[in-house]
Amino acid sequence: MSGAKKPVVLDHPLVRHHLARLRDESTPCAEFRGAMRALSMLLAYEALRDLPARRVTVRTPLEPAAAARVRGRIGLVPILRAGLGMVDPILGLLPEAEVWHLGFYRDETTLQPVAYYNKFPARRPVDVALVLDPMLATGGSAIAALQAVHDWGVKRIKLLGVIAAPEGLRAVHKAFPNVEVLVCALDRKLNRHGYILPGLGDAGDRQFGTLAP
């Protein structure tokens, strides 16, 4: 990863607490979604630290006060479907953000992403895009999403995930060395099926209650 931006791995007691809830196989679906919401907010808080702002003056009930408002258009780009669980908590922090979806599924034979949904408009792209996917495993879907956002013309792109594997992180940094990656944990490795170890299982199934009975 020489020359690439180093990943930001959040180190905070709240991150570790909610991550433990996600990893625990006994955590029910509703609690899993709650932990995902909490971690998404913490990731966004860190990722949006360097947003540009414009100075404004507001009037309090007592007198005028100097203040600041976020400047520019911010886009959230969840990778369907697991990334959907990260959208609402970030919108809670930044309700003005736009949401643009990208859909990929993984070919279980080749482990490569196959695109099935992309509706970026032809008009002017957002100023900053946050690509959202809880799991950075092989990196295939993330790279495909980053390429789509780049092709749209976005200049500032960040990738937010909960857990990453070293293999996926290396692949993303090789393809997009200037993209900042923020995660809550960097796990040990991928298994032969392309799943993160120790990981947390399938983030989409666990969020939306679609685990096989």
Report which secondary-structure segment, H or E, holds 18: helix 13-23
pLDDT of residue 213: 60
Q: Which of 16, 24, 71, 110 is catalytic?
A: 110
Going along the chain from its start, the domains and CATH numbers come out as 8-208 (3.40.50.2020)
Q: pLDDT-based confidence at 104, cuts 50/70/90?
A: confident
Worst-scoring range by mean pLDDT, 56-65, 107-116, 144-153?
Answer: 107-116
* pLDDT at residue 183 in the model: 98
Is pLDDT at 23 greater than 50 in this prediction? Answer: yes
Answer yes or no: are the C-beta atoms of 101 and 138 closer than 8 Å.
no
Give the confidence band of 212 by pLDDT, cuts at 50, 70, 90: low
CA trace torsion 39, 43, 44, 46 (10° rounding): 140
106 is catalytic: yes
* 57 in catalytic set: no
- Residue with the larger pLDDT of the pair 213 and 200: 200
Q: What is the DSSP letter of 153?
A: T
Distance CA 169, CA 33 (A): 24
Band (115; pLDDT cuts 50, 70, 90):
confident
How many CB atoms are closer than 10 A to CB 68?
12
Catalytic entry in 23, 73, 81, 106: 106
Rounded to whole angstroms, the Cα distance separating 165 from 93 reads: 28
pLDDT confidence tier of residue 119, bands split at 50, 70 and 90 = confident
Q: Would residue 202 show up in a list of annotated catalytic residues for this protein?
A: yes
Q: What is the pLDDT of residue 109?
A: 78
Region 135-161: mean pLDDT is 95
205 part of the active site: yes
Mean pLDDT of the chain: 92
How many helices and strands, by DSSP H and E, does the chain display?
A: 6, 15
pLDDT score for 151: 94
